[in-house]
Amino acid sequence: MPTFIGTAIVMKVYFNGDRAYVAQLEKALEACVRGRFIGHGYDGEIGRIDVMKTLIKGGLRTFLETEREICQAFHNKVHNILHEYHSRLIRNLTKGKWGEDYRDDWQQIVDDLKLSTRLYIAYGSNMEQSQMLSRCPNAKRIGKTYLKDWELTIPFYANIEKKKGKQTPAFVWEITDRDENSLDVYEGYPYAYDKTNIVINVEGKTVSAMAYVMTEQYKNSDKQPYDGYIEEILRGYREAGFDEAEFQPRSME
């Protein structure tokens, strides 16, 4: 815990205007990532909750929104903790191994860290501009990227799965919280698709961005894509500047 308290203090000083502390902040954040955010046994999750609350006091929400290029591993870690909390809250899976209930603490953390904007990775039909803007009218185009060590699959709708040595073309948008709520509905979050953050390079910057990943339960369901679905993805490829030949999903047969 002392590492995280120190990080919260450095973060607060940084946001009070002393930007000379950026090197110290980066070192503190890297130490946090090495600290894993969680203890062992019964108190493991309590420790993680305490860490998150401590960092919130230091200005974590502002950091996540405004300092995307500082310590991407830290961004990834925090966002993925939040995705876990939010998903489990919706699915009513808030109890630990010994029956302890974390609902109130998780809800407080999720509420405190609700971002007004975030980066979103589209690798399927949401690469296509007209569809994306119909769903998320406030979305802003950022640029194209490749998801390294992720493979595109199409069980029926597009999905990505971790695969060493593969890469998947994708397009990055900046979306508002209202846009994200809209996407959650379209993607059937968290039952059809859950969320994960991935470190990517876009427009010459290394950042952490959110992607939807199909759940195992949904992947094995009996679904069919709507007519024109693949054509929408290919339009998105062309609009983003990819060659259609780069559309190489792994066969699910």
191 labelled ligand-binding: no
Note if 187 is an active site residue. yes
121 labelled ligand-binding: yes
Q: Are 51 and 1 in contact (CB under 8 A)?
A: yes
> What b-and-e string marks burial along 230-246, b requiring 16 or more CB atoms within 10 Å of the CB?
eebbbbbbebbebeeee
186 labelled ligand-binding: no
233 labelled ligand-binding: no
Q: Residue type for 140, please? A: K
Of 187, 216, 239, 253, the catalytic one is 187
21 labelled ligand-binding: no
> What b-and-e string marks burial along 178-195, b requiring 16 or more CB atoms within 10 Å of the CB?
ebbebbbeebebbebbbb
Bridge partners for 177 per DSSP:
none
Phi, psi of 117 (to 5 degrees): -140, 155
125 labelled ligand-binding: yes
229 labelled ligand-binding: yes
Q: Which residues are catalytic?
A: 187
What residues are designated binding site for substrate? 120-125, 229
